[in-house]
Amino acid sequence: MSIRQGILALLTERPMHGYQLRQEFEARTGGTWPLNIGQAYTTLQRLQRDGLVEPVPDDDANAPERFRLTAAGAAEASAWWTRPVERTAPARDELAIKLALAVTVPGVDVVAVVQRQRTETLRALRDYTRLKRDAAPEGPELAWSLVLDSLIFAAEAEVRWLDHVESAVARAAVARATTRRPAAGAAQASGDPTAVGHGAAGTGEGGAR
């Protein structure tokens, strides 16, 4: 959907042909979401079919065909800015699914899964940060810099969520161990093998019951 809307938004500036649209789309978003030329033309065809764009009449016959917005297309483009992006149906997130399964499938070392992912996400975060350092937060680089911010915030949120998963899992392990041996008491908690690796944020809750 974002390609379709993106193309309509770009066409509010001036008529363009497919290749120009592709270039502009990638330049504005820093090439983060590459748009291949086939996608650009297929999308233009669909937009034309839906009556939102039309070829520029009396254009140079030897040049690539340029498209402009119809009245309906212009209305759709301006409606896009005021309509919030829908957040009701969560995007399918492999990591969330993986961890939901990891905590339920027996025998999975959740702490190791979390740590492996944290390293990977932090590496991405570091690399985005490097790019961000060189992107000027004004002028033509502003759009690119903000796209990077979006990626940085998302990666940061993912790391925070991973930390949360880790301590929640540690907490659950402690609770399980306590229910299994209700008479064992708090003194034993530190020697409990299931509590190993609960150093996360989980210190202090052992022996609560």
| Position 201 contacts other proteins (CB under 8 A) | yes
Nearer to other proteins, 7 or 69 (CB): 7
Nearer to other proteins, 137 or 185 (CB): 137
Residues in 31-90 at the binding interface with other proteins, rule: CB under 8 A = 31-34
| Position 123 contacts other proteins (CB under 8 A) | yes
Nearer to other proteins, 78 or 129 (CB): 129
Among 14, 98, 130, 209, indicate the residue that binds other proteins (CB under 8 A).
Answer: 130
| Position 150 contacts other proteins (CB under 8 A) | no
Nearer to other proteins, 131 or 168 (CB): 131
**67 phi and psi angles, rounded to 5 deg:** -120, 150
Minimum distance from CB of 23 to other proteins (Å)? Answer: 9
**57 phi and psi angles, rounded to 5 deg:** -70, 155
| Position 114 contacts other proteins (CB under 8 A) | no
Nearer to other proteins, 30 or 55 (CB): 30
State the DSSP string of the chain: -HHHHHHHHHHTTS-B-HHHHHHHHHHHTTTSS---HHHHHHHHHHHHHTTSEEEPTT--TTSPPPEEE-HHHHHHHHHHHHSPPP-SSPPP-HHHHHHHHHTTSTT--HHHHHHHHHHHHHHHHHHHHHHHHHS-SSGGGHHHHHHHHHHHHHHHHHHHHHHHHHHHHHHHHHHHHHHHSTTS-GGGGGG-GGGTTTTSS-TT-TT--
| Position 127 contacts other proteins (CB under 8 A) | yes
Among 12, 20, 115, 145, indicate the residue that binds other proteins (CB under 8 A).
Answer: 115
What residues line the site for other proteins (CB under 8 A)? Answer: 26-27, 30-34, 115-116, 118-119, 122-131, 133, 144, 152, 155-156, 159-160, 197, 199-201, 203
